[in-house]
Amino acid sequence: QKEVEQDPGPLSVPEGAIVSLNCTYSNSAFQYFMWYRQYSRKGPELLMYTYSSGNKEDGRFTAQVDKSSKYISLFIRDSQPSDSATYLCAIVSSGGSYIPTFGRGTSLIVHP
Amino acid sequence: GAVVSQHPSWVICKSGTSVKIECRSLDFQATTMFWYRQFPKQSLMLMATSNEGSKATYEQGVEKDKFLINHASLTLSTLTVTSAHPEDSSFYICSASTGGRTYEQYFGPGTRLTVT
C-alpha cells in the first residue's frame, strides 16, 4: 500500500460545479497536509496547507482533514475552466526531515 | 513572493553528453533545495535534497555520480545529468524552502529533458 493514495482521474465537470478532490494516507504520523495545483508542463503551485483536523477556507477553495479516517479533501466551489489542472496532495509526518510525500495527482477538467 | 526559476525550460541533447539545469530562488534565501523527477501522469519523485554549502543527500536508487547536484549559494542550485541516455528523458523540477520549513516548498517551472 502506498503511503498516499490519490485517484488520477481525469475528473470532468461543468463550469460552476462543486469539485471534490480526495486523498487517503496510511501513516498516522502525518501531521501537515497540503494541496498543490500543477498546470500542464509547469511546476506545482502551493494552494493551501493545514496541520489540523477540520476545514480551512481560502476563497473558492476549502481544505478538509479527517485524521481519524486518514482522509483529506479539497473542495472547489464555482469551478472555472481556469481551474483545469492536476491537483496533488502532499503530506508530511512529524519528526524526521519534514519532506512531503506526494500523491500522484488528480487531473481536473472544467468545461464551459 | 517566493519565486523559483529554472533554466533552461526545455533541452534536447544527444546521448552521452551532459546537461546542466539551474534552479534559482529569486526573492528569498533558499536554505534547502530539492530536485524532483516527474514522468507523465505520475507523481513527483524526490531525487535529492541539498542544503547550501553541503553535499546533497540522494534518495535510494538515485545515482549520485550520474545526477550531480551543487548548492553553491542560498539562491542557486544546479543539477547536472552526466552521460545522458534516452531513459533520462523526463521532466525535472526543483523546489526551495527557507528557514527549515522543508514542508513548505516553492517549485520552479520545470525543465523538460529529451535525450536522443
Tens place of pLDDT for every residue, chain B, 116 residues? 689 999 999 999 999 999 999 999 999 898 899 999 998 878 889 999 998 888 899 999 999 999 999 988 899 999 999 999 999 999 999 999 887 777 788 999 999 999 99
Partner-chain contact A44 B93, CB within 8 Å: yes
Partner-chain contact B103 A105, CB within 8 Å: no
Q: Across the interface, which of B106, B107, B110 has its CB nearest the CB of A41?
A: B110
Report pLDDT for B42: 82
Closest-approach residue (CA) in chain A for B110: A43
CA distance A92 to A101: 6
* Coil, helix or strand at residue B99: coil
For the stretch A11-38, pLDDT in tens is 999 999 999 999 999 887 778 899 999 9
CA distance A100 to B105: 9
Angle at B22 between CA B110 and CA B101, to 5 degrees: 75
CA distance A69 to chain B (A): 22
Q: Which residue has the higher pLDDT, A75 or B73?
A: A75
In the structure grid, which three cell numbers stand for residue A36, read together? Answer: 498543490
Report pLDDT for A95: 67
Alpha-carbon separation of residue B66 from A7, B34, B85, B90 (angstroms): 33, 16, 10, 14
Is the pLDDT confidence value at A98 over 80? no
Alpha-carbon separation of residue B115 from A67, B38, B73, B93 (angstroms): 44, 15, 29, 17
